[in-house]
Structure 1
Amino acid sequence: MMLLLLVPAAVLLAVVFVAPMLHYVWLSAHANSVLTGLVPIPNQGANWLRLVSDQRFWQDAGQTLRFTVVSVSLEVLLALAIALLLDQRWRGRGVARALTLIPWALPTTVMALGWRWIFNTPYGPLNQTASLLGVAPLNILSNPSITWMATVLADVWKTTPFAALILLAGLQTIPTDLYEALRLEGASQRTCFLRITLPLLKPYIALALLFRLAQAFGVFDLVQVMTGGGPASSTESLALYAYINAMRFLDFGYSATVMIGSFILLLLLCLISWSFLIRLQRRTGRV
């Protein structure tokens, strides 16, 4: 009977994930572009040989990894601080919790347009303020060395509330009796955090981390709207590269190969992160 309850979820998963993934795997083994008249033709793994030697793919993989690691690390740290604050009892806490979720509730496209306007040169609010202070215009969205930081900032602002919500749920599962017992022994607030809060919150931190790793590694709409992958492809993600191959070059076979390659890299990243979390859990132990 319990297995029957899983049937709807299994069917949904098969329809929205397994079937498209199998189709992309099949498509990656075929040439399907304007040159073939958009007719799939088996190419004996030529797409995968092209992928291995594609410098743009590996450059985008490095940029996507950099974006993912930096943004997710900042999000988890900020989310922990926000969750600890919202878990305290103080007047207006309910309103603050609701306001915290606004960035996460906004559509990513709308949010990206807003940040693009903030960083606009010379009319954006940031540069207008810099002009009033006598500072030279900041060409943030046209400087390859710093533009990626602007996308990280936008992503952190957008998705930190999601991670904070997960951690806040974890904090509310910790019994208050544990804190009271430890305080009776003269423990400080810092000791309570290190010996109770952090160990019991580790599963929720791991959950937030893995969720955000998967989402950040597949970033597309934020980059597409905010920078278009520029300047000089310095913010181009793997998802955007796959989109460009499909929609601009009409090379659907290679686009599918890029998507499958990105998925493999994401699996490796998740496995590495999971093994690190398991090793950390064994080293620190549980309360």
Structure 2
Amino acid sequence: MVNAPHEAMHRIFQEYPKLFSRVSEVLGVAFSPPTSTTVMPTDLTETQPVERRVDTLLRLETEDDEPLLLAIESQSGKDPDKPASWAYYASYVLAKYRLQPMLLIVCQDRATAEWAARPVSFGPRQWPLLTLRPLVVGPHNMPVITKPAEVRKDLELAALSAITHAKNPDIGAILKAMSTVLRDETDDVKNPIIEFVSQGLGKLPAAAQWRTLVAVDLSFYKSPIFEEVREEAQTKGRAEGRAEDVLTVLTERGIDVPEEARERITGCGDPETLSRWLRRAVTAASAAEIFEAE
């Protein structure tokens, strides 16, 4: 299923194509850094009514004068049909472009990554015709980067690492190191990194931590996503302040506030509603009376 983490895990390579050579180095496989990159069409559909579309396909020119076609797939879970699709992608681009293909799978959980990394053979048991061996990136082999000095060495790799470790218990320290470094970067450097990490975290709990860090540590960052965050934070702050005012007025007037009423007041996130309750609290004979007209 296409979602924000899915898109971030492969599109980051479109934005930073040299990232592949650094990732391959982490995985212990040497690929020369590309000297130039071309984003290729991802539609691998043939004339038959069967659509096959790879997530990202890059043509990497290298210093070895051996162009490479790099297919990148984001994988969120085990899918027994995927290896056949991946084998199709590899054979199709080889036949179409006459360039050697490589497949990189990016995952956010160890079980999926280890499943995707297993060699899969196609053909009779007695004589396998083809063996698929993709490179796989996931929390099992990407570094956990929690120190700003390490983030500065390779910002793009650190961003991908943060995405793959989105479920790691240390994700708070990982994201704090990222935001600390990004404070000193120019907008053209930090803005895409912030967005990729935000998309990569999706709806996981770590996403809220990242949004808070960006709102606090990177207060001048401008983005539709984080402008919305700031507005939400400002609204929440106003609501919390007015809720305290309502309780203070009732307490000063000697009005008993039952726990149910207290929870309703503090749980309200609408500043306008709380303003009405505050005005009623000035003359109400009981806490329940401020809710009567609602």
Give the TM-score normalised by structure 1.
Answer: 0.22
Between Structure 1 and Structure 2, the one with more helix by share is: 1
Give the TM-score normalised by structure 2.
Answer: 0.21
Higher RCO (Cα < 8 Å, 6 or more apart): 1
Between Structure 1 and Structure 2, the one with more strand by share is: 2
